[in-house]
Structure 1
Amino acid sequence: MIKRAIGLSGLLAGALALASCDMMPGGSDAPELDIPEVEPGELSVDTMKDITRQLSSDEFEGRMPGTKGEELTVALLTERFEAAGLQPGNGDSWVQEVPLVEITGKNFAPLTITDGETDLVYDFGSEWVGVTYREDASTQLANSELVFVGYGINAPERGWNDYEGVDVTGKTVVILVNDPDWESEDLEGTFNGKAMTYYGRWTYKYEEAARQGAAGALIVHDTEPASYRWNVVESSWSGPQAYPARGDNPPPMTNVNGWVQKNVAREILAAAGQDLDALSSAAKKQGFKAVDLGLKASTSFENDIRTFSSQNVIGILPGSEAPDEYVIHTAHWDHLGRCKPAPDGDDICNGAVDNATGTAALVALAEAHAKAGPPRRSLVFLAVTAEESGLLGAYYYASNPVFPLDQTVGGINMDAFLVAGPSKDVTVVGPGKSELDAFLNAALAADGRVPTPNPNPEAGYYYRSDHFAFAKQGVPMLYVDGGEDLVEGGREAGKAIADDYRTNRYHGPKDEFDENWDWSGVMQDLQLFYRIGRMMAESTSWPNWNEGDEFRATRDESCASSETGC
């Protein structure tokens, strides 16, 4: 039975309470939202078990894109989507081809900084790392002028532009990691206090540098604001780097994107007569002006380039009244394939939790929605490839959408259901960003649970999973993890289970299926996702990002140009 008795006014207090914990809350002038009540879904725990077991078996070899494991995964998902009652999501096809490019740098020259008389020379790996996004056999940065641009942010909606009054065309910009108010004790500030915004992520900083015409971009690594040590940077930015093929009209790209150790940056700035701490302090203040350092940077390296193709798997349950309006569910099907062996010699990273569980959830939700009958809007179930390589399948879909993004109402991303038993709460990553919080709060109220905000907002986890690719294009997306306050054992037990997984199984060969798992908590979370998806699909509203959110302008522009969607 569908009811339309719930509007935003009935949920506003809960939504704002949640929003105050992380990121920016919506204003009190938010429009009334149509949030229908929905009946619980008929969700199959056997489906969750069977698909998780299959996907994480050794036969699937860790589900690395471009391998036998991909072939088996795509075949299984196609079969189960069709059996669930879905239709092919890409015309007559169940898949979207995702062309990928893998670039492996080699023969790196040192990074050399000169004032024309004295050279500072830094070794690749230990002192700096760099890659190119260009499909060129060789890469060169030759005597490129260095400019310190603070946090490298251009955010008109926040009255902030670190590039104002400076031309960095052909130059190399030096950028601080995170955003200006990351040291705040609370969540108040131009950039949401200690909660990282998209402007604090390295992805944004490189993209903005390229838009400004820079030839190179070097981020200053600092462990606390980055939330990871230099060894993570060194390992992640050396070896093969994969990207979606960019086609004939690629976005602007620098020649070199890289990182430098903090002590290296300090030495470079000192050679320019500047102090890193003083400039960092100045860069936190509105109106900061970029500083020409009077130095030049040079480096070079060669690239091995490999092209290959992977697949996103797409199914759709067409809507009964508004089939051209779409609610999307995403999960990544891939994992790491063969990896560093465990002490017992096991070298298959099976990825049972990450993310066979989320992939199985797509099928279980599809079955339940099909049993309930088509909702008003269409439901899309998208299993994306190459998340572990940098959200590549999601980025490709978001840049080449099968269903128009201005007709996509919003969505839910599911990445790793930690099997921990039932909880009293759920962990909301990035609360307060959009009006989807109202749908989440309604579903939580129906399930008798409460939201817990992300405990580490400064780490920017909202920008690290597949939903982010859609958010960048303006589509409101929810990202909700399992709860921390377990029915049995409370927060202490929840933390112990999470810590054990991160320490002993995450991205390792021991993330394996266990026949003794207690699935009750997973099914509890799955019911929540069912309610949210069904509410969005039965609604007539078009939820937006909250005022001031970094993705609001993109959505508003998309909606303004649409005649059929938002």
Structure 2
Amino acid sequence: MIRLTAFAALAISLLASPLAAENRIADRATLEQDVRILADDAMEGREAGTPGYDRAADYVAGRFADIGLQPGGDDQTWFQHFPLVRHSQASDSRLAIIDAHGRATKASFGEDFVGGGLASAGGPDGRGDVEAPIVFVGYGLEMAELGHDSFADVDLDGKIAMWVFSMPDDIDPLLAIHLQQAGADRFAAQGAIGSILLWTPELDGRSPWLSGRSYVGDIGGLTWIGPDDVPFDRAGDMQFQLIASPELSRSLMEGQQFGWDDITVAQLGGMMPMPSFDTGMSARVSYASAFEPVLETSNVIGIQQGTDPSLAEQYVVVTAHLDHVGVSNNPCPDGDMIFNGAMDNASGVATMLEMARLLVADPPRRPVMFVALGAEEKGLLGSSYHAANPGLEHGELAVNVNVDMPILTWPFNDIVAFGADRSNIWRAVGSAASAYNVKLVPDPNPDEAFFFRSDQYSYVRQGIPAAYLDLGFGNGGDVAQTAFLDRHYHQPSDEADGIDYEQLGRFADIAYLVARNVADMDERPAWLPGDFFGSTFGGPIAGDR
């Protein structure tokens, strides 16, 4: 509803005012030079943690210095360093269910349950032993407007959330994807110490337990180590996540006020509401985690101060990921083994550098931080680290403008600004598009979940409004983008010669004006009232004082 209202109002406002003439201000030759250098074979695909990436980072730092930015990294340098580790289960987890009479029944790892400790749990040695009451929380959702307020009548603080996975069919696709990913976040926010997912008949219909348990129970992956030496995990203080087999799930609901058959009926009935309640049971869980150092990498950060002292603590952060996927182990038929990453994302970094040059020449009201992000290809890790650790002595990140892989092979006539319609920056973004006679359109392909697949989402999760700039499907854009994605995305053929540099210049013109408009806003960038992401992650709300 918010999205449609915002775009409708924007269309009306643009029709009511004359369009400005196009003004070619981005230097096309400089853009091409930056792309060709960053996508050169000498950069070896810019994989995070490799000498090739470090060479690319040095190049960006040098460009920041030449442009006239101030260093914004560690110890007055250009670089914000962060280590990545691989988190995995060091051994099988152990689980015992304790009934209301104190009788304990052991469950078998792999047969009765899977899962284990989370990255931030267990202290320095990654080990933990937990015994806590079990609370059934139904679908584990906070959506009172749809009849699901799973936490209203129970206290999860220091307890274990036992839940059922289901998702309403009639909600915003963006919200559905977020909710699917963020169960642990919701439980952690309620103070839960762990969770147990019940494997229901509805879930078994999607993926039978015997085949599904391996991938849903594989707790682990890459994460970063923070300045406090604690591995990062979005689940905060949650210690473990477990998934119960169909047989254990059924037994856990035996004798409860809302039983196994009730769950089945509720799910078959179109996600009928479920109650939440204390089960009278407890669980004893032991887990052990292992951490393997993987690599060290960096973000590259430059800062341009603003002109308005009253806005000096509201930073606009402009981002583009610098890393790509490195060198292939299996050469293409022509022998090329280097994933040059020209479109993905040398084009975005070149755009950011040109935005920086223009904003240094004519500074906006707010300060602007420019960040060439590392480890995006490994799971948005550079942006996740920076959003949580911006390194500012004074002020805070107020809004993010992200540029990631605009596919620049045809004369585009529309742009997408993922997320802009959720905050009061949408008018500033729309004004920039209007100035260049380009339409601002909604996400043409929401099922692909691009909103969650690029770096701006790391800032959104910190309560920071954001916009990810990309191109729409107009004027043959759907065909052009599909052709690139099918033939060149994450392939050695993503070379600098594949970019139309006049189109990159047009895109950079618009991106620059978006950043300038946002940096010059009278009001603070803020979420629209009632927006889900603003309510979920916090941050300022438009109109609040």
TM-score (norm 1): 0.75
Match for residue 495 of structure 1? 478
Match for residue 356 of structure 2? 366
Counterparts of residues 391-470 of structure 1 (less than 5 Å):
391-403=380-392, 408-430=397-419, 432-457=421-446, 460-470=449-459
Counterparts of residues 339-378 of structure 1 (less than 5 Å):
341-344=330-333, 347-371=337-361, 373-378=362-367
Residue 108 of structure 1 and its aligned partner are, at CA, apart by 4.2
CA contact (8 A) 1:391 1:465 kept: yes
Residue 241 of structure 1 and its aligned partner are, at CA, apart by 1.8
Residue 145 of structure 1 and its aligned partner are, at CA, apart by 6.0
- Letter of the 1:335 partner, please give it: H
Counterpart secondary structure, 2:474: coil
Match for residue 378 of structure 2? 389
Change (3 A) 1:205 1:424: same
- Letter of the 1:515 partner, please give it: D
Structure 2 unaligned regions, length at least 5: 13-18, 99-103, 255-259
Change (3 A) 1:177 1:136: farther
Change (3 A) 1:150 1:237: same
Match for residue 40 of structure 2? 57
Residue 428 of structure 1 and its aligned partner are, at CA, apart by 3.5
> CA separation in 2, counterparts of 1:15 and 1:445?
18
1:513 and 2:502 aligned = no
Counterparts of residues 477-488 of structure 1 (less than 5 Å):
477-486=466-475
1:150 and 2:128 aligned = no
C-alpha distance after superposition, 1:115-163 (max 9, x if no partner): 8568565369xx9555621354344566776554334334799996422
> CA separation in 1, counterparts of 2:389 and 2:241?
25
Identity percentage of aligned residues = 23
| Among 201, 211, 216, the residue aligned to 2:189 | 211
Greater CA radius of gyration, 1 or 2?
Answer: 2
Residue 418 of structure 1 and its aligned partner are, at CA, apart by 1.4
TM-score (norm 2): 0.77
C-alpha distance after superposition, 1:264-303 (max 9, x if no partner): 6644433334155435468956674257495857564441
> CA separation in 2, counterparts of 1:247 and 1:213?
21
CA contact (8 A) 2:527 2:541 kept: no
| Among 15, 18, 30, the residue aligned to 1:47 | 30
- Letter of the 1:312 partner, please give it: N
Counterpart secondary structure, 2:76: coil
Change (3 A) 1:550 1:96: farther
- Letter of the 2:226 partner, please give it: A
> CA separation in 1, counterparts of 2:396 and 2:526?
13
> CA separation in 1, counterparts of 2:24 and 2:394?
27
Structure 1 unaligned regions, length at least 5: 1-13, 29-35, 185-191, 561-565
Match for residue 132 of structure 1? 118
Match for residue 69 of structure 1? 52
- Letter of the 1:269 partner, please give it: S
Residue 319 of structure 1 and its aligned partner are, at CA, apart by 2.3
Change (3 A) 1:100 1:161: farther
- Letter of the 1:44 partner, please give it: D
Counterpart secondary structure, 1:386: coil
Counterparts of residues 156-305 of structure 1 (less than 5 Å):
161-169=149-157, 171-175=159-163, 180-181=167-168, 183-184=169-170, 192-196=171-175, 200-202=179-181, 204-217=182-195, 234=215, 240-245=221-226, 247=228, 252-257=236-241, 260=243, 266-271=246-251, 272-273=253-254, 274-275=260-261, 277-280=264-267, 284=271, 288-289=275-276, 292=279, 296=283, 300-305=287-292
Residue 220 of structure 1 and its aligned partner are, at CA, apart by 7.2
1:543 and 2:533 aligned = no
- Letter of the 1:400 partner, please give it: N
Change (3 A) 1:294 1:435: same
CA contact (8 A) 1:352 1:511 kept: no
CA contact (8 A) 1:422 1:522 kept: no
